[in-house]
């Protein structure tokens, strides 16, 4: 039922928009340390790109055996998706990764400090329900440090409350990306997803989860189709106004469905905190492009003279990120259902 709708949605995106949405696993051959290249191919502006490439190659070579890196086909603020395929107790779990590379990282007061990080990219980390591992890489010494995005800030206000285009992140120097570090990452992944799955399988939520996922999948499906349309002119034509209105209604429907799930999760649980943070971040991202979202009528009767507020530039910038976050939300919410089905079939 919902599974077929979800599979249909993901299949449609993979077939018609694979250049936009990285939603299918790809073949992966693990890199060896000898694959890490140290030559510099150019100078000037492209040198930063070379440093970034070297950092990503180093990280890929350090991945545990069976952990698959899927590089994105479109840069939406994350460098890739890691899928665990090692037949361990975290087999099939996924998380995003964002790598910040430099030849001489700034280390101050026990933290690796990285300034100039795009605020919109950080907002995307929080709008997605998948955990994002933020990694700082020293390409000179070939070492790295890590932190989960949820541990970098105390509240959404730090990410969404300011006007500056960039943020500064601080990764604990003690969190080194070595054998012990990967062990810590493994334990934290198990704890993170275990908390979410326990919350999604509780009896108060069981009968409401699939209808909510169906609503989210329908909203994302419609947002995918709307994303193929150019943003309307300002002032918009009648058709352009209607397009923006429908887009806002779909975002509202998605948020309502997600909140219907959140209301049935123990407010004191870690899962509630994670999902609430994700919903708040998603809504803040939508509001940046659609400031009139919360002024929409509660019912289906839309006045003909309703004022529709939107920011054309931000509309373009946020569409793909919000769709990506919606797809990840569907996959996360249905993972517990797939697990139950597999367990029940044995």
- The pLDDT value recorded for residue 76 is 61
pLDDT at 8 over 70: no
pLDDT at 41 over 90: no
Percent of the chain with pLDDT over 90: 43
Question: Picking from 107-116, 172-181, 202-211, which range would have the lowest pLDDT averaged per residue?
Answer: 202-211
Tracing tokens 């010494």 back to the chain, one arrives at 141
Cα-trace Rg, the chain: 21
Better-predicted residue by pLDDT, 259 or 36: 259
* pLDDT band of 75, cuts 50, 70, 90: low
- As a whole number, mean pLDDT of residues 130-151 equals 94
- For the ranges 25-29, 174-178, 291-295, the maximum mean pLDDT occurs at 174-178
* pLDDT band of 269, cuts 50, 70, 90: confident
- The pLDDT value recorded for residue 304 is 74
* pLDDT band of 20, cuts 50, 70, 90: very low
The span from the CA of 101 to the CA of 99, in Å, is 6
- The pLDDT value recorded for residue 22 is 37
The span from the CA of 146 to the CA of 333, in Å, is 26
Sequence-distant (6+) residues with CB within 8 A of 49 are: none
- pLDDT tens column, 296-327: 888 767 777 788 889 988 888 889 889 988 99
* pLDDT band of 11, cuts 50, 70, 90: low
Tokens matching residue 73: 């086909």
- The pLDDT value recorded for residue 25 is 35
**SS3 at position 117:** strand
Q: Please, which residues bridge with residue 67 across strands? A: 84
- The pLDDT value recorded for residue 160 is 79
Please count the other Cβ atoms lying within 10 Å of the Cβ belonging to residue 166: 13
Q: Please, which residues bridge with residue 96 across strands? A: 81, 132
Question: Picking from 35-39, 98-102, 108-112, 268-272, which range would have the lowest pLDDT averaged per residue?
Answer: 35-39
**SS3 at position 75:** coil
Phi-psi region of 261 (alpha: psi -120 to 50; beta: other; left: phi over 0): alpha
Q: Are 17 and 220 in contact (CB under 8 A)?
A: no
pLDDT at 24 over 80: no
**Structural domains in the chain plus CATH codes:** 27-194 (3.40.1350.10), 198-345 (1.20.120)
- As a whole number, mean pLDDT of residues 25-46 equals 44
Q: Please, which residues bridge with residue 111 across strands? A: 108, 172
Better-predicted residue by pLDDT, 252 or 27: 252
* pLDDT band of 155, cuts 50, 70, 90: confident
Q: Are 121 and 77 in contact (CB under 8 A)?
A: yes
pLDDT at 284 over 80: yes
The span from the CA of 271 to the CA of 114, in Å, is 28
């Amino acid at each position: 039922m919902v599974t077929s709708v979800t599979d249909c949605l993901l299949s449609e995106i993979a077939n018609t928009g694979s250049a936009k949405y990285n939603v299918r696993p790809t073949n992966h051959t693990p890199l060896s340390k000898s694959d890490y290249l140290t030559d510099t191919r150019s100078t000037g502006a492209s040198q930063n790109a070379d440093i970034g490439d070297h950092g990503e190659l180093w990280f890929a070579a350090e991945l545990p055996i069976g952990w698959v890196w899927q590089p994105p086909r479109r840069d939406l603020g994350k460098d890739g998706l890691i899928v665990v395929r090692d037949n361990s107790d975290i087999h099939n779990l996924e998380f995003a990764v964002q790598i910040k590379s430099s030849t001489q990282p700034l280390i101050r007061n026990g933290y690796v400090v990285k300034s100039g990080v795009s605020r919109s990219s950080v907002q995307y980390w929080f709008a997605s329900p998948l955990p994002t591992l933020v990694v700082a890489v020293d390409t000179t010494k070939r070492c790295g440090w890590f932190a989960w995005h949820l541990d970098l800030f105390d509240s959404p206000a730090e990410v969404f409350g300011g006007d500056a285009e960039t943020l500064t992140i601080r990764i604990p120097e003690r969190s080194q990306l070595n054998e012990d570090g990967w062990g810590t990452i493994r334990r934290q992944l198990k704890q993170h997803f275990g908390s979410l799955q326990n919350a999604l399988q509780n009896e108060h939520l069981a009968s409401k989860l699939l209808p909510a996922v169906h609503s989210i999948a329908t909203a994302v499906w419609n947002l995918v189709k709307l994303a193929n349309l150019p943003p309307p002119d300002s002032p918009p034509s009648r058709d352009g106004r209607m397009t923006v209105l429908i887009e806002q209604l779909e975002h509202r429907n998605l948020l309502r469905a997600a909140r219907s799930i959140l209301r049935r999760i123990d407010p004191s649980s870690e899962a509630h905190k994670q999902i609430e943070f994700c919903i708040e971040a998603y809504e803040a991202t939508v509001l940046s492009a659609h400031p009139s979202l919360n002024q929409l009528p509660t019912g289906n009767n839309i006045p003909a003279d309703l004022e529709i507020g939107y920011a054309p530039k931000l509309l373009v910038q946020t569409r793909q990120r919000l769709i990506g976050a919606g797809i990840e939300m569907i996959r996360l919410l249905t993972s517990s259902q797939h697990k139950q089905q597999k367990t029940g079939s044995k």
